[in-house]
Structure 1
Amino acid sequence: MREWWVHVGLICIPLVAVYLHIPPPQLSPALQKWHSTGKVFHFRGWKIFYRDSLGALGSSDVVILLHGFPTSSYDWSKIWDPLTQRFHRVIALDFLGFGFSDKPASVVEGLVAHLGLSNQRVNLVSHDYGDTVALELLYRSDQNRTSHLTLNSLCLSNGGLFPETNHPRLLQTLLKDSSFLAPILMRITNYMIFQKGIGEVFGPYTQPSDAEFWDMWTGLRYNDGNLVLDSILQYINQRLKHRERWVGTLTSTYVPLHMIYGPLDPVNPHPHFIRLYQKLVQRSTVTILDEHISHYPQLEDPTGFLNAYFNFIHSF
């Protein structure tokens, strides 16, 4: 794997100038529909895209969906409609593309305030990078740190909660740790490299279609999001720095917790990750999906993901 990336880099470095000026791809009809039904709110001078769908009548329940890296709120598209049949409001946003400390958590709090939900208990569903954002929100909510967010429940999925069981991909490591290589790699990474990298974290029987790969790539390239990947990836280092804060909150909270886990995940591999989670987070319930489901369970097995989540929500 490492040799393959080095080989690609040696081939592509002379092509940097070519990739510097390639315009982003056009939105597919599916992405265009997703985009057109969303809205934008302004947070500290930044435009934040979000979707907010009214759903089930007779319910006041709200769920907020937090996506992973390097994709977007579109990750939730396969389970969006079923969620609207269960919840009164289903909300998702695209995280800011300018690094990680407490910024993404503050964006979520800002959106909650913008939507008038500050006094309402909300349910969070998160994945990958979104799990780390969710832990910061859980910390603020539990500590009553003037948070706009009061959590009713938290459902995590395939995130690197524990640095000791997390294995970032080689390209992620190079982007977050190499100030020399990162600007080059961000510009020379093309669709073929992206497709191979993303494909490796899906199961062999649950690979995205060509159109789905292209939509992921389009979302990444939108507004030059590919050029700030090194900043966003600092969240991996932040996990180590704030491990006591985030894991400590996870192990001590009384907010209902659930983990939906795709066990073929090479980033958070089985059984080490789930064993440590069950050992440390004893109040949480866990669903382990079929053995061929990998890092993106909500896309690889939307029915299994929804069944697990609804069983959790109906259990308290």
Structure 2
Amino acid sequence: MSFKSTYFSPTAKTTGTHCDKAQESRMTHDSPDGSECGSARRASREWWLHVALLCVPLLAVYLHIPPPQLSPALNSWRTSGHFFTFRGNHIFYKESVGVVGSSDVLLLLHGFPTSSYDWYKIWDPLTQRFNRVIALDFLGFGFSHKPRPHRYSIFEQASVVETLVAHLGLSEQRINILSHDYGDTVALELLYRSDHNRSGHITINSLCLSNGGIFPETHYPRFLQKVLKDSGFISPVLTRLINFQFFSRGIKDVFGPYTQPTEAEFWDMWTGIRFNDGNLVMDSILQYINQRLKHRERWVGALTSTSTPCEYTHHSHCGTKCWSTRRIRCVNMTHCGSLLKNSAMGSAIEAK
């Protein structure tokens, strides 16, 4: 009996019914038709085995899809940058010299899960305001090394930034920091070290935080983030299953209705993640959400007690066609503390 004739012929259904009846008869009368029924069931099991064996190589191919090629714009960003070494890992950074006669230095800290390329649209305008503009890809992001297994932490990323500043000979320079999302928490660790005069710290001249979720009790991670950071042995499997369509649908909600990235920009983000298998370390990096909660007093405390001029900007969706920007300006330690000690921020936030 062939595979095709057994399962796809018009008589297949009849055969199955006959087997069911034969089984019922065999249970009561020990019918000899039981042997025919057993053969059909064995053939059925063999069919599912064939399907499973076919799926294995297909799944293997899917899970090892090569990363997309760098776009001309993304490749240009990479070739215009440099690398330094941090504990045996190569860290990518980009630096431009801007305004002549100014000594102002601006350091840009990107968010999760993207890279320094986030800043490309405002890079040139920033060089018209600052003497030196610097951005890096954190360890595990963008063009930097992405070691695995590895215990990624905010503390380590802050040390990466300090090493870069020293590498550029700016340890004695007062640094202005503009950070976003994940970079906000790194900036707060840098602020803590600076205010406590820790060895190797950088001196922060001013700090601007944007969309950071810095208060754990008011931060609500997306479903995928929660699954990846808390699913244990399942997380590495999930990181392999994430593809461009899944990624782009998820991250588009982060943007306002009038600032949606183009398809090409979504691809550049995804390419940066896939570079050096960065998708496989996302679950490890996402432990920063748990670290925010564990070290809340250290990082939120640094913001409420600092004398460094700070600003916090938050963009939030407030309806079908509404996108608001809220901003806190902290001009000194007393002012900053009074504004930020209420983590909900409430009336202390001035709507712009």
Coarse TM-score class (shorter-chain normalised): 0.7 to 0.9
For 2:154 and 2:102, locate their aligned partners in 1 and report how far apart those are by CA, in whole Å. 34
Counterpart of 1:41 in structure 2 is 84
Counterpart of 1:80 in structure 2 is 123
Q: Please report how far the alpha carbon of residue 72 of structure 1 lies from its aligned counterpart in structure 2 after TM superposition.
A: 0.3
The SS at the match of 2:95 is strand
For 2:120 and 2:350, locate their aligned partners in 1 and report how far apart those are by CA, in whole Å. 21
Q: Please report how far the alpha carbon of residue 271 of structure 1 lies from its aligned counterpart in structure 2 after TM superposition.
A: 10
For 2:350 and 2:118, locate their aligned partners in 1 and report how far apart those are by CA, in whole Å. 20
1:135 correspondence with 2:184: no
Counterpart of 1:106 in structure 2 is 159
Higher relative contact order, chain-length normalized (CA < 8 Å, sep 6+):
1
CA deviation profile, 1:108-159 (whole Å, cap 9, x unmatched): 0000000000001000000000000000000000000113300000000000
Q: Cα RMSD between the aligned structures? A: 2.6
1:91 correspondence with 2:134: yes
Give matches, 1:142-291, under 5 Å.
142-264=195-317, 278-280=339-341
Q: Please report how far the alpha carbon of residue 273 of structure 1 lies from its aligned counterpart in structure 2 after TM superposition.
A: 11
Residue type of the partner of 2:104?
D
Residue type of the partner of 1:35?
R
1:29 correspondence with 2:66: no
Instruction: Give the count of matched residue pairs.
Output: 272
Counterpart of 1:308 in structure 2 is none
Asked if structure 2 preserves the Cα contact closer than 8 Å seen for 1:175 and 1:182, the reply is: yes
Give the 4+ runs in structure 1 shifted more than 4 A. 13-16, 269-274, 285-289
For 1:161 and 1:86, locate their aligned partners in 2 and report how far apart those are by CA, in whole Å. 28
For 1:203 and 1:102, locate their aligned partners in 2 and report how far apart those are by CA, in whole Å. 31
- Give the TM-score taking structure 1 as reference length: 0.81
* Cα gap change, 1:67 to 1:250, in 2 (>3 Å): same
User: What percentage of aligned pairs have identical amino acids?
Assistant: 65
Residue type of the partner of 2:254?
V
Residue type of the partner of 1:33?
S
Counterpart of 1:115 in structure 2 is 168
* Cα gap change, 1:116 to 1:192, in 2 (>3 Å): same
For 1:288 and 1:90, locate their aligned partners in 2 and report how far apart those are by CA, in whole Å. 29
Structure 2 segments unaligned to the other structure (5+ residues): 1-54, 141-149, 329-336
Structure 1 segments unaligned to the other structure (5+ residues): 1-12, 290-316
For 2:102 and 2:278, locate their aligned partners in 1 and report how far apart those are by CA, in whole Å. 37
Residue type of the partner of 2:118?
D
Counterpart of 2:15 in structure 1 is none
Q: Which has the higher Rg, Structure 1 or Structure 2?
A: 2
* Cα gap change, 1:265 to 1:124, in 2 (>3 Å): farther
Q: Please report how far the alpha carbon of residue 181 of structure 1 lies from its aligned counterpart in structure 2 after TM superposition.
A: 2.0
- Give the TM-score taking structure 2 as reference length: 0.73
